[in-house]
Amino acid sequence: MTATTDGSPGALEPRAAAASELTDNTAGIGTATATATATATATATATGPAPPGVLDAARRATDRAVEHLLAQQDPQGWWKGDLETNVTMDAEDLLLRHFLGTGDDRTLRAAALFIRGEQRGDGTWATFYGGPGDLSTTIEAYVALRLAGDLPGDPHMARAAAWIREHGGIAASRVFTRIWLALFGWWKWDDLPELPPELIFLPSWFPLNIYDFGCWARQTIVPLTVVSAKRPVRPAPFALDELHTDPRVPNPPRGLAAPTGWEGAFQLLDKALHAYRKVAPARLRGAALRSAARWIVERQENDGCWGGIQPPAVYSLIALHLLGYDLDHPVMRAGLASLDRFTVWREDGSRMIEACQSPVWDTCLATIALADAGVRPDHPALVKAADWMMSEQIVRPGDWAVRRPGLEPGGWAFEFHNDNYPDIDDTAEVVLALRRVAHPDRGRMEATVRRAVRWSLGMQSKNGAWAAFDADNTSPFPNRLPFCDFGEVIDPPSADVTAHMVEMLAVEGKAYDPRTRRGIEWLLAEQEPSGAWFGRWGVNYVYGTGSVVPALTAAGLPATHPAIRRAVDWLESVQNDDGGWGEDLRSYREARWAGHGASTPSQTAWALLALLAAGERERTSVERGVAWLAGTQREDGSWDEPYFTGTGFPWDFSINYHLYRQVFPLTALGRYAHGEPAFPGLRQGT
């Protein structure tokens, strides 16, 4: 990250010197037990009466929100909100069905209805609500609508095509978009970066082996090596001349930069791989394709999906089909059926495709929200949620074991079925949720938590922090590949995940553990000059700061700590005039947006959680934030939030978690109305 030149509050240069402040404030870190930590924090943050009007409004809003959230629980014990992304999911679903020959008119009409409804006035499609038009997204949406029968002369299509040409046409789109077009002959395979299947043979210590990639990229790249090797072309049902700046030269020459520096080196590597393709030994290529197929099939989940996310499932199905798996093969049947479970049918007859589903994440956050809102810890809904979460613990190794062999499994994944890729973030929050529940089977609870803590501690990276899925997944090389021009492809540690781990370890009585201390040191070093923390998995500095401050105070740092005071000052400096907080996704690219955007329920809650943890319950900023949440609540106890506040890849892939607008406001209001959380599920003396 680089600093801005204008000195704006959102400057992105990490403040490494902050780590030295830890040694001056260690007296509060060594809490004897998690119960003592919670009690001390509650005393510090809940002193003094709140204004009756605000407190009464908070309590009324809390009661309504509790009732609304309890009504959304599934009979099995879990919660799941819709996970909304952008129309590339829907467009690529249609392209897949057309490629495999499995499309049907009902699906086509419903998908087209949804895609048309997401088009902006200028003819484009964006990747997040209120965002600018995106070239690749607009191209994919346009092609999907052509498949549905929309004509180039239709006004909405003509506007889209004109905008696409104005912004460089198909040639300027990202690699993944051009791969989809190449499947139908709308782009030349020779003009795409080469991705050889022999990559599967590189050992884990070798640069650019598949385990140097983040798990989501790894699951996508392996099947794409098969697609790249096979280079299939299905007859295109129409031409796309209207999307080229010059239809006479649809594939303009690739302008290779001078081979200097890393960019030039990787361009030369791609050129060499194109040359290798022509001379690759047939036996070696065949063995690589068979190994890739085996790798893919071994990672198919019990529900038929791959990694619990839609993109790897789509590419895996294409790859296996190219390798001879017919549509009736059990692997293919299960994979295709899994994609149908990502479909959300709407009342207007349209259908939206979820990129992923988030039941574990939603359930642990809902449990925390309800417990912090005063729902009794032995409430049947909480006990049922705890039962379901414990049943979802993953007890077999996954890809993470390549870098951590011998570590006993014990984490949780984000989704219903994703045993290969549990993540540290979910694991930390599930433990925090379980500890809020007075479960009748204390032995089972303790065994579950011990296993989770042991696994997540073992996933700590060398620098003392935690990433989402893997340890030390920090190679600088994957991001430099010409193929990787979209989204993050590695999984380095982040402040938000590390904060959740530190908070969980503090609750488990490990605030003074050297591993926790290293995490705290890393967090202090990562604080921005503005006082904020970067948010990797939520938008953005408000999320990062809302995660880190509660973690630091739970671990015993006093509210007077300079890092906490800077965070409080920054949060108050970016509060909106209406009393809420919001941050636009453009903050990932432009520092001036840091902490700035329309107020949203989830981001307002994140700011309040930080301020409350910092002992600012009586501050005017807190009262105004609470009043905003109470005042924007609907009659049924819910909140509306069209803005995207979740992050898949910063800027490139954004998420609107439909349950965020419920769980985080309820958590913040509950802590304001009832004080800091208690942990009845924590065995005394742990």
Q: Give the number of other CB atoms < 10 A from CB of residue 493.
A: 25
Give the pair of three-digit tokens for residue 537: 């998995």
* DSSP alpha helix (H) spans, 527-632: 541-554, 562-573, 601-613, 620-632
Q: Name the 3-class secondary structure at 240.
A: coil
* DSSP alpha helix (H) spans, 24-121: 34-45, 52-71, 88-100, 105-117
Catalytic residue among 425, 426, 470, 496: 425
Q: Whose CA is closest to 98, among 223, 242, 236?
A: 236
DSSP-assigned letters across all residues of 319-386: HHHHTT--TTSHHHHHHHHHHHTTEEE-TTS-EEE-SB--HHHHHHHHHHHHHHTT--TT-HHHHHHH
Q: Is 326 a catalytic residue?
A: no
Place of tokens 């208690």: 678
* Chain Cα centroid distance, residue 462: 23
Q: Whose CA is closest to 621, among 574, 664, 670?
A: 574
**DSSP state, 473?**
B
Phi, psi of 407 (to 5 degrees): -75, 130
Measured over the CA atoms of residue 221, residue 354, residue 117 and residue 92, the dihedral's sign is positive
Q: Name the 3-class secondary structure at 649.
A: strand
Q: Name the 3-class secondary structure at 469.
A: coil
**DSSP state, 438?**
-
Task: Determine contact, residues 672/608, Cβ cutoff 8 Å.
Answer: yes
Query: Which residues, at least 6 apart from 531, have a Cβ–Cβ distance to it below 8 Å?
Result: 545, 563, 566, 567, 568, 569, 570, 571
Give the pair of three-digit tokens for residue 363: 């359930």
Give the pair of three-digit tokens for residue 163: 């905008």
Q: Whose CA is closest to 85, among 44, 120, 115?
A: 115
Query: Which residues are identified as catalytic?
Result: 425
